[in-house]
Amino acid sequence: TLHFVSVNQILLLLLILTVCAILYNKVHKAPSALKNEAVDLESPQEMEEEIPVVICAAAGRMGATVAAISSIYSNTEANVLFYIVGLKNTIPHIRRWIENSKLKEINFKTVEFNPMVLKGKIRQDASRPELLQPLNFVRFYLPLLIQKHEKVIYLDDDVIVQGDIQELYDTKLAPGHAAAFSDDCDLPSTHEIVRSVGMQNTYMGFLDYRKQAIRDLGISPSTCSFNPGVIVANMTEWKNQRLTKQLEKWMQRNVEENLYSSTLGGGVATSPMLIVFHGKHSTINPMWHIRHLGWSPDTRYSEHFLQEAKLLHWNGRYKPWDYPSVHTDLWENWFIPDPSGKFKLTRPDS
């Protein structure tokens, strides 16, 4: 019997080794065959990761969208796919502009945003009606508009990108975080500007702390705010945490209870994000979001500092396609005139 057991054991061992060898071959050989086929089938261009960049095209501001896209495209080798979001009546105009200019090489898709999703969710604000444009809220609906990407960049239209967008895309998001933003207290050189124009950079500037619902959040009014004009977002986390629903809930509560601070112009789309992402967001390298360029027509940054900046943002009333505004030369470098002639720059001599 001893002899019989050892023969059995040897046979069993051989059987196990054979199975292991077959499995090893399956696992290790198959992918290499597939890989070879893939290389034959696809050009190296298609093998690269696509970087999805979402940007809006609003009526009257399309020159901004074009300049932003032009700056991104010119400063990267990466495979960028632009999602240009507009209302039904603006999409044909932006499409023609791109197709009839040197931007015709870019990869882009137009996405129609239906403003009906906002019905009953926006409180009318007479002081800055432009902030109530439906496209200001596109960032709340990213996973509904962009289906097939895990990671997405969202940019406001009034930005210029001077760095390689790949670098921004590579921003690390902490586990469980659905988005990364720039903190408003993150850059010493911008503090002077902020102080000189009396800008808000804390939660107190955006939320009305006299309201119980705001106090109940337990967020200190001196907490540093962040700016959602540049977002690196993880779509899976966003969907899993149902963030769109949460943002909508706070929009609705504001309609009923007027929760946002009336002192701040930009509060309409920013405030719900400050509440929902409080303590649950990662940070973007500050040089990737130099902002407040549109805050005052006479507060200027140093030229050297602006050259170092990777992304410039003209948030505020004074836009670089209008007059007066500052650092317009940096913006105009990337502007491409409208072939249809509808969009024109406002300049002192025009």
Domains of the chain (ranges, CATH numbers): 51-333 (3.90.550.10)
Mean pLDDT of 101-115: 96
102 has pLDDT over 60: yes
**Residues 58, 133 contacting (CB under 8 angstroms):** yes
Residue 40's pLDDT is what? Answer: 41
| Radius of gyration, CA atoms only, the chain | 25
Q: Kindly indicate the confidence band of residue 165, based on its pLDDT and cuts at 50, 70 and 90.
A: very high
Q: Kindly indicate the confidence band of residue 261, based on its pLDDT and cuts at 50, 70 and 90.
A: confident
**Whole-angstrom distance, CA of residue 111 vs CA of residue 146:** 9
Quickly list H helices, 161-298: 165-169, 188-196, 212-215, 235-240, 243-257, 267-276
What is the CB neighbour count within 10 angstroms for residue 241?
17
190 has pLDDT over 60: no
**Residues 248, 269 contacting (CB under 8 angstroms):** no
pTM of the predicted structure, to 2 decimals: 0.84
236 has pLDDT over 50: yes
Structure tokens at 208: 């009305």
CA distances from 50 to 110, 193, 247 (A): 16, 36, 28
Residue 345, Cβ density class (10 Å: 0-12 exposed, 13-18 middle, ≥19 buried) = middle
Longest Cα–Cα distance in the chain: 107
Mean pLDDT of 147-158: 96
